[in-house]
């Protein structure tokens, strides 16, 4: 049993906390949203007065936040967790943030004598609830080994991607491919339909041929072809277009800083930006097929 | 045993002829390239004097050509096969051509009392040699049933995609997704490397996650990750960038005529055009990762 | 005074006929739309029974049609104008059609002993009414010289672009640049606004700097900066998005056939396709700024 | 006469210093490159020991640096100029940096009681030498008025774009349009050529029509059409592809942070990234026509 300071109690963080509690850990939690905190106290968590307050009690610091600014505000400075943490505390950051920001956090942790891993997840709210997330972890072997038992409370696959920030890198490279291939599949079905090719027939053929993608066979944007996916439920998320757009923007930020060319990544980012700007950011990301088809959007 | 007039004896047509002979059919063959014809006579084919000459002997007309102009020149007009074919002959066109051109051929066949299927293939030269092609077939059920035994001589999967030209539609929609996803995977690995994420590690993660594509798991453009693929052999084809570009252009032609939006299809087409214009059209299509990475291209 | 057979009496053709009449020519007119014909008889035109009927009377054949199929149907075959025209008649085609189709028409004209120029126009309905069109002409010098007096009845600038189909080539290359630069300017103003840079200020700066384009200084998509443009009139056309999309598609068809890479041309084509598919094809083409900005589209 | 601390003595900074000296100002200069400093002492500048040293003497602080990190390192912290500057000193930053970084600098200046304007320039090395730069200025009216006399020593057009960071915003929005339109013009000429349309003819037509852009009429990427441009000198810069890429990346960073969609801006950025990755970053940015045409690149 460990004592964990967990900051960030949104749609993802809240079920993650509950899963950590189920494994017997003691959780000090904090969020600007008081309701979220109160809700978790019913499950046995202790509401902290601040991130620093939470940190003073904990062996493990855990953040699940939206932006790198939030991560920095929670961890750094006089009121940050790093200042108030026990010597040699372990810090796990499951927020999806920019590569450079994550590297900076690793540097800050090192100089504060905090052991850190970045550990962004995929699998969405459903995965967080079912403790079936995939966790991509960046940090040295020793820190990975230390973090693994905690990550296995929230996820099913816990993978050591490499050194500092490699968890973030793995996630955004994967999600860039995902965002592009989702639009590719959407374009394929939209074109098939205009060519009077039955979607069911096209699915049968392409899902077993060289066009096969996870986006097609596990999350098909064309309705009525794959069971239990958002396209069968009027594109209720799932993983929203806004969240995909956030990850694509992180990929483009990383590409910019690393001087990489990602022409289709850039195009996909902007197609999701157009889709979001049209007011559909809260639809599932597979809903972009509506914009590609152009029907009654 | 049937008598087949086979026109078009290139890298694909030649092994297809040999596989038809192996199944006991008698082949009249024709090609502008005399060597190709002579070569096949050694395998038991009979060299015809012209497409029309071949047609006069045959129950089945079969074309495997490069362009719709070639298909029209071989089949239509006073010297075309249709004029000289037996009543109710069966015509199989395995050429990859434009949807509208294929529809026109179906109309011409109908008015000449020829039963037609379009039957483009995937699987490349290796698939043609091993008789393991995938064949996507367009035409009515009766004609599909008639063509199937012949197509099973050259391919392993013979799929009825739908009505006239639906074989072509299935192929170009599939290959459009393939072309886009290949570049997506290339961008993913190129970015991963610049972010100091080990390619092997990224493959392990993404191949089992939402970024998984056939392009990654069966034909990975990053070397040393998947066995027996062109990336391990300095991008010797396989399926050349020029051939992918041809199929992508067919997809864009179809999209244009059908008024479909295919923004990533268009972007992928132009990236392959840039790659071909840089002089690399004869490399395998997975070689586009060289342009994305920008090393010593 | 010449006798002219004019086929195609739409928004462009109708005022062009009236301007030819004003210069003293006698016009035999034909259109599938009987109303359009009757309307022009009030201005002194003679309604013909068919294109062929019109052609029998005429020194000059003139078409202003939507598609190359229409042009071929009107000119070729047993009922086409070429068969019924006087020896050595002059044929002017102001339709905007595909390069290859235009080249084919030049070949057909040559073998029918008809002197031909392709002469697509820019300037829109307002230009047709004011006889202020720009006319880009393809054909040999002699035919250009013969056509020029007629073209000067409908346009202000009549330019000899080169040999057969060069008029079409000039128009689509120009309009491809126009379509791209219109979106570029739209993106520039959309971004400026989000960066809290006053549009008026940005216009002052960029219109006199290296970002200057005709799209900005003569047809600005941002309202209230340039007088008398569609952006000041809620994007009433002008030149519709559908018409721009048609020209962009012609450019992509030409690029496809000529094996040219046009990455931004392809992207612009697909952005206009998305815009049209969203139901905005009848807005002026500068209205695409609404999709880029994403406000209440 | 004022005393100016000038930091950043590269290709741009060095001639700007000389022009300020010509107008009678006294210059304390600093650069990590000692040679650059020594060179300017021959023109009457005084070599400072550090930015802070320079700042202690000066009424005006002036930076012309490559990155926002450099700007921050020079201005902020215990050794930064702001700490050592006279009360109410004026700070001019002509570096091209990210919008958010520039806003941060304005905030830092405000809290250090420094009056600041951002003042990025266009016109390149030639413009810096000839004191003919265009200067886009962001800051309040009072600070603009204070900075204007100094900016008029280095530039010909000094424009007040708006509040803090609006100079940066104006520059990147303008240059994003420029980068896109340069590629648009390159694609137009490349396609024209493949369609056998004479470049000279196309220039005559399009430069007076709706395709006209500054990129075409003042900086044409097709050789032999406009006098004294890099395309006539084998694409020797001028303004390098790398510099254009830097500005395009700034535009995409700004778009990302402001949640703007810039699909063609993103595509242009990546085409320049491909071009630079192919090893051509030091060519003039108009040289991208070589990649579009695909000849012997």
Q: Cβ D274–A252 below 8 Å, yes or no?
A: no
**In chain D, % of residues over pLDDT 90:** 96
- A238 pLDDT band, cuts 50/70/90, is confident
Nearest residue in D to B266, CA atom: D267
Please check whether residue A66 is in contact with residue A96, taking contact to mean a CB–CB distance below 8 angstroms: no
Please check whether residue B47 is in contact with residue B60, taking contact to mean a CB–CB distance below 8 angstroms: no
Distance from CA of D260 to the nearest CA of B (A): 18
Residue B296 has pLDDT above 90, yes or no: no
pLDDT, one tens digit per residue, over D32-83 is 999 999 999 999 999 999 999 999 999 999 999 999 999 999 999 999 999 9
What is the rounded average pLDDT of the residues C75-104? Answer: 96
Pick B169-293's CATH classification: 1.10.357.10, 1.10.1040.10, 3.10.28.10, 3.40.50.2300.
Answer: 1.10.1040.10
**How, if at all, do strands D155-162 and A60-63 pair?**
unpaired
Indicate the average pLDDT of chain A.
96
Distance from CA of C106 to the nearest CA of D (A): 15
Residue A296 has pLDDT above 80, yes or no: no
Start-to-end Cα distance in chain B = 51
Q: What pLDDT shows up at residue B123? A: 87
Residue B248 has pLDDT above 80, yes or no: yes
CA–CA separation, D231 vs D48, rounded Å? 41
Please check whether residue C262 is in contact with residue C251, taking contact to mean a CB–CB distance below 8 angstroms: yes
Q: What pLDDT shows up at residue C111? A: 96
Q: Where are the beta strands (DSSP E) in chain D?
A: 3-7, 26-30, 46-47, 60-63, 90-93, 115-118, 121-122, 133-138, 155-162
Contacts of B291 in chain D (CB under 8 A): 274, 278
Nearest residue in A to C266, CA atom: A267
Residue range(s) of every CATH 3.40.50.720 domain in chain B: 3-163
Start-to-end Cα distance in chain D = 51
D3-164 CATH? 3.40.50.720
- A223 pLDDT band, cuts 50/70/90, is very high
Q: What pLDDT shows up at residue C295? A: 64
pLDDT, one tens digit per residue, over A154-198 is 999 999 999 999 999 999 999 999 999 999 999 999 999 999 999
> Any chain C CB within 8 A of the CB of B249?
yes
What is the rounded average pLDDT of the residues B39-61? Answer: 97
Please check whether residue A280 is in contact with residue A296, taking contact to mean a CB–CB distance below 8 angstroms: no
- A293 pLDDT band, cuts 50/70/90, is very high
Q: Which fold has domain C3-163?
A: Rossmann fold (3.40.50)
Residue B178 has pLDDT above 90, yes or no: yes
CA–CA separation, A190 vs A182, rounded Å? 12
Q: What pLDDT shows up at residue D296? A: 53
ipTM of the complex: 0.95
Q: Cβ C258–D213 below 8 Å, yes or no?
A: no
Q: Cβ C263–B249 below 8 Å, yes or no?
A: no
- D238 pLDDT band, cuts 50/70/90, is confident
Disruptive mutation site among B294, B295, B296 for chain D (greatest number of D CBs within 10 Å): B294
- A200 pLDDT band, cuts 50/70/90, is very high
Contacts of C252 in chain B (CB under 8 A): 252, 256, 266
Nearest residue in C to A271, CA atom: C271
> Any chain C CB within 8 A of the CB of A293?
yes
Residue B143 has pLDDT above 60, yes or no: yes
Q: What pLDDT shows up at residue A123? A: 87
Please check whether residue C273 is in contact with residue B265, taking contact to mean a CB–CB distance below 8 angstroms: no
Distance from CA of C194 to the nearest CA of A (A): 13
Helix (H) or strand (E) holding D108: helix D99-111
Residue range(s) of every CATH 1.10.1040.10 domain in chain A: 169-293
Q: What pLDDT shows up at residue B297? A: 53
Start-to-end Cα distance in chain A = 51
pLDDT, one tens digit per residue, over A117-145 is 999 999 888 899 999 999 999 999 999 99
Q: Helix B263-275 vs helix B241-258: angle between axes, to the nearest 10 degrees?
A: 150
Joined together, the tokens standing for residue A54 give 């939470």
Contacts of D262 in chain A (CB under 8 A): 270
Indicate the average pLDDT of chain B.
96
Q: What pLDDT shows up at residue A124? A: 85
> What are the Cα distances from residue B279, in Å, to B179, B232, D147, D155, D195?
18, 20, 52, 44, 20
Indicate the average pLDDT of chain D.
96
Q: How many CA atoms lie within 13 A of A230 on its CB side?
A: 22
**Counts of helices then strands in chain B (DSSP H, E):** 14, 9
Residue C110 has pLDDT above 60, yes or no: yes
**Counts of helices then strands in chain C (DSSP H, E):** 14, 9
Joined together, the tokens standing for residue C263 give 């990455």
Q: What pLDDT shows up at residue A125? A: 87
Q: Among positive and negative, which fits the CA dihedral D125, D131, D135, D139?
A: positive
Q: Cβ B166–A213 below 8 Å, yes or no?
A: no
Please check whether residue A60 is in contact with residue A92, taking contact to mean a CB–CB distance below 8 angstroms: yes
Residue range(s) of every CATH 3.40.50.720 domain in chain D: 3-164
> Any chain B CB within 8 A of the CB of C266?
yes
pLDDT, one tens digit per residue, over C11-67 is 999 999 999 999 999 999 999 999 999 999 999 999 999 999 999 999 999 999 999
Q: Among positive and negative, which fits the CA dihedral A65, A68, A73, A76?
A: positive
Distance from CA of D266 to the nearest CA of B (A): 12
Residue C222 has pLDDT above 90, yes or no: yes
Q: What pLDDT shows up at residue D295? A: 64
Please list, in sequence order, all residues whose beta carbon lies within 8 angstroms of the beta carbon of residue B256, skipping any fewer than 6 positions away.
C249, C252, C253
A:42-101 residues touching chain B, CB 8 A cutoff: 99
CA–CA separation, D289 vs D297, rounded Å? 10
DSSP string of A265-297, one letter each residue:
HHHHHHHHHHHIIIIITTSBGGGHHHHHHTS--
Q: Cβ B291–D274 below 8 Å, yes or no?
A: yes
> Any chain D CB within 8 A of the CB of A263?
yes
pLDDT, one tens digit per residue, over B201-226 is 999 999 999 999 999 999 999 999 99
> What are the b/e assignments for D266-288, b being 16+ CB within 10 Å?
bbbbbbbbbbbbbebbebbbbbb
Residue with tokens 């999701």: A272
Q: Cβ B278–D292 below 8 Å, yes or no?
A: no
Q: Cβ A263–D277 below 8 Å, yes or no?
A: no
**In chain B, % of residues over pLDDT 90:** 96
CA angle B20, B21, B23 (to 5 degrees): 70
Please classify residue A152 by burial: count the beta carbons closer than 10 Å to its beta carbon, then call 0-12 exposed, 13-18 middle and 19+ buried.
middle
Joined together, the tokens standing for residue A68 give 């790198």
Distance of CA D34 to the CA centre of its chain: 23
pLDDT, one tens digit per residue, over D145-159 is 999 999 999 999 999
- C123 pLDDT band, cuts 50/70/90, is confident
Residue C297 has pLDDT above 60, yes or no: no
What is the rounded average pLDDT of the residues C74-91? Answer: 96
CA–CA separation, A92 vs A153, rounded Å? 13
Which chains reach chain A with 3 or more Cβ–Cβ distances below 8 angstroms? Answer: B, C, D
């Amino acid at each position: 049993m460990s004592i964990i300071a967990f900051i960030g109690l949104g749609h993802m963080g809240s079920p993650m906390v509950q899963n950590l509690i189920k494994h017997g850990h003691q959780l000090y939690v904090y969020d600007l949203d008081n309701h979220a905190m109160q809700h978790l106290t019913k499950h046995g968590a202790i509401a902290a007065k601040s991130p620093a307050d939470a940190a003073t009690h904990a062996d493990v610091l855990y953040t699940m936040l939206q932006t790198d600014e939030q991560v920095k505000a929670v961890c750094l400075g006089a009121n940050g967790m790093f200042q108030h943490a026990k010597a040699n505390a372990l810090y796990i950051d499951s927020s999806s943030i920019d590569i450079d920001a994550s590297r900076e956090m690793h540097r800050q942790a090192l100089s504060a004598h905090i052991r850190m891993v970045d550990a962004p997840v995929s699998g969405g709210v459903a995965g967080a609830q079912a403790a079936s997330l995939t966790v991509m972890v960046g940090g040295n072997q020793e820190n990975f080994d230390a973090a693994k038992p905690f990550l296995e409370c929230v996820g099913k696959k816990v993978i050591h991607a490499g050194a500092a920030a490699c968890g973030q890198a793995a996630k955004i490279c994967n999600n860039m491919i995902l965002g592009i291939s989702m639009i590719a599949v959407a374009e394929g079905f939209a074109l098939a339909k205009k060519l009077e090719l039955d979607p069911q027939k096209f699915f049968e053929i392409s899902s077993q041929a060289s066009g096969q993608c996870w986006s097609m066979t596990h999350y098909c944007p064309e309705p009525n072809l794959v069971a239990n996916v958002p396209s069968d439920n009027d594109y209720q998320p799932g993983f929203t277009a806004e969240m995909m757009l956030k990850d694509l923007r992180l990929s483009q930020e990383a590409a910019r800083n690393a001087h990489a060319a990602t022409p289709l990544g850039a195009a996909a980012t902007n197609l999701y930006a157009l889709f979001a700007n049209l007011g559909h950011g809260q639809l599932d990301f597979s809903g972009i097929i509506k914009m590609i088809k152009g029907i009654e959007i």
